[in-house]
Amino acid sequence: MPTAIRRIRRFGLRVGLQGDWYLYLIAAGIGLFMGVAATLFLAPLRSLEHFEAATSGTVIWIIVLAGPAIGGVLVGLARLGINAPYIGPGVTTVIYGVLRQRGKLRLRVGVQKWICSTLTIGSGGSAGAEGPIVTIGAVLGSTVGRALGVNTQQMTTLLGCGAAAGIAAVFNAPIAGVLFVMEILLRDFSLRTFTPIVISAVVASASIQGILHDQAIFQLGSDFMAQEGEFRMAYMPAYILLGLACGVVGATFIRSLDVSSRIFAKLPGPIWTRPAFGGMMLAILGLCYMLVMGPELPMFYGNGYSEITTLLTPTSYSDNPDAAPIGLLMLGLLALLIMKLVGTCLTLGSGGAGGMFAPSLMMGALIGGMLGLSLEWVGLLEHGTPARFAIVGMAAMVASVTHAPLTGILIVYELTRHYQIILPLMLAAVVATIVARWLCRDSIYSARLREAGIRVGILGDITVLARLTVQDLILEPPRTVSKHDSAATLVSQAEIHGAGDFIVLGDEGEYRGMVTNQDLKAALVFRDAIPLLQVSELQRSDLPIVTPEETLDVVLEKFSRSDVDALPVLVDGDERHVAGLVTRGRLMKRYQAALDHCDE
């Protein structure tokens, strides 16, 4: 840690501040920097969007047909030139860094992600800007942590500060940024971690408001809820149906992206050419769109933010005199949903860079819009327009794809800032998450981690262990000896059973202690003395005992205090009956099985 930082920290301790108080200053600095970085990152993408929107004629054909392929070539060359570790999409790489690299992400990971995502999205690739900004923020936090020489806990906290600041800046949603980091990246809700991450997200959001004058990605009018009407209990079945639909589509998206990645991985030729292949296939899809809709930029190109804004505008559905019949409009929304899903899989599966949030938001808005139109068509939507269902669908789709309902709920809630929408958001998001987890146990982020041998459950380690007891384990049968037996008898029994952990019983069959495998091996070093020793001279009476009702986190803590491979499990309080042995190996196998169950 630099000398200046050490002096500041010592000064804070002398005046009574907490040991990690200086992290709050660093978190504020990261948030301020990420506000500026997000602005710089979004600026070229918005400029390209304005240019493409104002383009027509021959130029638009060139952009649609050649843009994705050219962007894919440039992305491949950028990956080749900036060699950075690649585990999966940006957020997956960050999670891997937290779990396996102690929060240490190389600077080139962020640089590569910045360049490649700008090229991918700017050339028409179907991806979002939020995933890359999370990676960039996480790399910034990790880089600052390495420069300051902080420990592993503080390193992951600073990484989380950068990631939360990125989400807060892009969506102008500080609460969602904090929950995203806590729920998906760190899975740590401790106050020590929570406080600096909140500070960073708030500062980033305030910075972006100061720079862009409160312009978030999506702008909803102040009269949105007035036009949409209030939440009614009669609509609950419709929101449950919306959650079911988003859960199914979310699971389909997760599996389709996995299949797409596997197919592109088997293509012959250098790896850096794969994004170009994906771009060419996206261009073919774009050509099909233009042959039907005419010479305009396909709505599934790019991040889709402007299309989402259109779907969230109530007048887009009913007050437009040029609007198509409802049946035709629903068919168009369905076709766009399929093309967005396929286009995203082609873009990201081939190696393009970008986030999953924007495609998920757009697909959710499309599903919600279709459901709202259906209800209006049959006369069941008494009050309001499909835009209400579009915005609820956004939350449900994000929740189903990420398996993180809190993140989906809060991102969309902060976009509307209307509390009336919170009940349908919560209901649809939870239903979508349940359905998606039932159909696909891996989220869009954890699928690649599982391939790397990393299990990511929905609960933290201690939480999983605290929900299990010794009764959930298969115990090893107790191998017993009497305290009066000779050590030679003990050695003979060890050779017969092929193990060295033995329970020592007293004259009345009560538990007296254990002879562990380590103790027996130590005695065998002096093998000539074995005939002169008794079991009572080798036994250990200081080992902690375990009861069947104890939770596994308590058992694990007992193992940490004793350097042994097994502990005795006693049935009753007077320590007379030994039920068996609990071993480290069986405890860890049960823990891994519990994680697998959490992932299902």
Model pLDDT for residues 441-494, shown as the tens digit of each residue: 878 887 777 766 666 555 445 556 666 788 888 888 878 777 777 767 767 777
Domain termination residue (choose one: 453, 487, 513): 453
What secondary structure does DSSP assign to 498-542, as a single string? Answer: T---EEEE-TTS-EEEEE-HHHHHHHHTTGGGGGG-BHHHH-BS-
Q: What is the pLDDT of residue 600?
A: 47
Based on the domain organization, do 137 and 187 belong to the same domain? yes
Residues 538 and 443 reside in one and the same domain: no
Q: How many helices (H) and strands (E) does the chain have?
A: 25, 5
Asked if 296 and 319 sit in the same domain, the reply is yes
For 396, half-sphere exposure in the C-beta direction (CA atoms, 13 angstrom radius) is 35
Sign of CA dihedral 582, 584, 586, 591: positive
- Flag whether 395 is in a domain: yes
Q: In 37-71, which positions are buried (b, 16+ CB within 10 angstroms) versus exposed (e)? A: bbbebbeebeebbeebeebeeeebeebbbebbbbb
Long-range contacts of 501-504 (CB under 8 A, 24+ apart): 501/476, 501/564, 501/565, 501/566, 501/581, 502/535, 503/478, 503/479, 503/568, 503/578, 503/581, 504/480, 504/535, 504/536, 504/539
Give domain status of residue 459, yes or no: no
Could you say which residues of the chain have pLDDT below 50?
A: 15-17, 321, 459-460, 599-600
Residue in 300, 384, 312 with CA at minimum distance from that of residue 346: 300
Q: Which of 408, 428, 453 is the last residue of a domain?
A: 453
Of the residues 419, 453, 487, the one at which a domain ends? 453
Are the beta carbons of 300 and 335 closer than 8 angstroms? no
The bridge status of strand 566-570 relative to strand 578-583 is antiparallel
Question: Same domain, yes or no, for 192 and 77?
Answer: yes
Both 481 and 558 in a single domain? yes
Tokens linked to 208? 């972006």
Number of domains in the chain: 3
Expressed as residue numbers, the domain containing 119 is 3-212
Which stretch of DSSP H or E encloses residue 583?
A: strand 578-583
Provide the whole-model pTM. 0.77
Separation CA 449–CA 94 (nearest Å): 11
Alpha-carbon distances, residue 410 vs 259, 417, 422 (angstroms): 30, 10, 9
Kindly provide the b/e burial profile for residues 135-155, where b requires at least 16 CB atoms within 10 angstroms of the residue's own CB.
bbbbbbbbbbbbebebeeebb
Same-domain pairing of 491 and 449: no
CATH number for the domain harbouring residue 479: 3.10.580.10
Two tokens, residue 156 = 């992951």
57 within some domain: yes
Q: Is residue 178 part of a domain?
A: yes
Residue 458 lies in a domain: no
Q: For 258-304, what is each residue's pLDDT tens digit?
A: 888 888 888 887 888 888 888 899 889 888 888 887 777 788 888 77
- How many whole angstroms separate alpha carbon 98 and alpha carbon 463? 18
Q: Is residue 81 part of a domain?
A: yes
Q: Are residues 184 and 246 both part of a single domain?
A: no
**What CATH number should be reported for the domain holding residue 303?**
1.10.3080.10
Interatomic CA distance for residues 399 and 412, integer angstroms: 11
- 3-state DSSP of 549-580: CCEHHHHHHHHHHCCCCEEEEECCCCCCCEEE
Q: Are residues 376 and 505 in the same domain?
A: no
Q: Is residue 280 part of a domain?
A: no
Q: Are residues 182 and 45 in the same domain?
A: yes
Residue 433 and residue 345 share a domain: yes
211 exposed, middle or buried (CB, 10 Å; 0-12, 13-18, 19+)? middle
Do residues 342 and 410 both lie within one domain?
yes
Is residue 199 in a domain?
yes
Looking at the structure, do residues 76 and 160 belong to the same domain, yes or no? yes
The DSSP 8-state label assigned to residue 581 in this structure reads E
Nearest CA-CA partner of 578 in 529, 520, 516, 510: 510
* C-alpha distances out from residue 347 to 113, 344, 512, Å: 15, 5, 66
